[in-house]
Amino acid sequence: MTSFGSHYYGSVSIALSGTSAREAISALILRISSSIALPSFRHNRLYCSNSSAVSAEVQNQEQQHLRSSDLVASEYAELNLSHKFYEDLGHVRIRQHVNPLSSSFSVPAQVPDWYQVFRDPTLPLMVDIGCGSGRFLIWLAKRNPEVRNYLGLEIRQKLVKRAELWVREIPLDNIHFLFANATVSFKQLVISYPGPLMLVSILCPDPHFKKRHHKRRIVQKSLVDSIVDTLMPEGQVLIQSDVLEVAVDMRSQFDEMELLKHIDAYDKTLLCDSEGWLLSNPMGIRTEREVHAESDGAKIYRRMYRKRT
């Protein structure tokens, strides 16, 4: 028997001889085919397994999102807001992160004719900075039609336009929304308002997690100073976040203001935990972000201040 050598494919070894070369080659091809198929089969099984796991995870996330969305819908069910397609808006998609330092947001908002936007512009005013979709503020306005006026400031213009359409549909004459960068426009808007500023809320603002982006956060010293300067005596400021770092950052800036004191010094029914965070929501309604965060098991960190007389 004359040997032609040995051929390896993985751990497969076959000896060839002159008399059985054809049979040996056929056997080799068969074994190679079988060896190739086996890893391919295992790979496919692994792929299918991973694919199933990914699909399950996506499905869980979608179900969680749906549950969270259902909770938001339930929270604001009494408003009966329309979700129809508005031709002039298209589909309203929320861009989560906006850079307020961009030149496109540096132009101050035009001061409206307050007598045109409010039935009675001498009523005390609440301003919600970063009002999002506006549902939270609309709920308050509907509950307090002759008690105070409500102004929502939002940097995402499509949300403002949709909120204004909702206001006209209900309709309400004690609420208005403005496309505005509060850092740039807050003071000039508020000082032009005929009535007193009695409440400012900053609820779950964009956290801008990266350190180099902290300067984009809405709560900066200039805005805090403007709020305190324009707030009426005994007026209030409510801040909250589901991100502890952001809540602490806001708290440190408002705590420094000598004209402000935390609400539990005046109202003992508003209880705080050992760290000084309010234990309950004083507004009677949760924001959408609050609903989403709490449905995920997150804690909401709140502080409420009152201006000294």
Residue 105 has pLDDT above 90, yes or no: no
Pairing of strands 175-179, 301-307: unpaired
pLDDT digits (tens, 9 = 90+) for 144-159: 999 999 999 999 999 9
Range of the domain at 8: 3-59
Is residue 164 located within the same domain as residue 294?
Answer: yes
| 206 a catalytic residue | yes
| 214 part of a folded domain | yes
pLDDT at 174: 98
Mean pLDDT rounded to a whole number for the chain: 81
Is residue 158 located within the same domain as residue 43?
Answer: no
Q: 206, 229, 242, 264: which is the annotated catalytic residue?
A: 206
When pLDDT is averaged across residues 172-188 and rounded to a whole number, the result is: 96
β-bridge partners, 272: 278
More confident site: 82 or 104: 82
| 171 part of a folded domain | yes
* Residue 38 binned pLDDT confidence (cut-offs 50, 70, 90): very low
Is residue 15 located within the same domain as residue 123?
Answer: no
| 263 part of a folded domain | yes
Is residue 221 located within the same domain as residue 266?
Answer: yes
Is residue 100 located within the same domain as residue 221?
Answer: yes
Task: Quickly count: other Cβ atoms within 10 Å of residue 75's Cβ.
Answer: 18
Is residue 92 located within the same domain as residue 163?
Answer: yes
DSSP 1: -
Is residue 49 located within the same domain as residue 147?
Answer: no
pLDDT at 22: 53
| 67 part of a folded domain | no
Is residue 83 located within the same domain as residue 55?
Answer: no
* Residue 212 binned pLDDT confidence (cut-offs 50, 70, 90): confident
pLDDT at 47: 37
pLDDT digits (tens, 9 = 90+) for 130-142: 999 999 999 999 9
pLDDT at 264: 94
Is residue 87 located within the same domain as residue 32?
Answer: no
When pLDDT is averaged across residues 153-166 and rounded to a whole number, the result is: 94
The percent helix, strand, coil of the chain (3-state, each to 5) is 45, 20, 35
Q: What Cα–Cα distance (Å) separates residue 203 from each residue in 250, 270, 281, 308?
A: 11, 18, 11, 22
Number of domains in the chain: 2
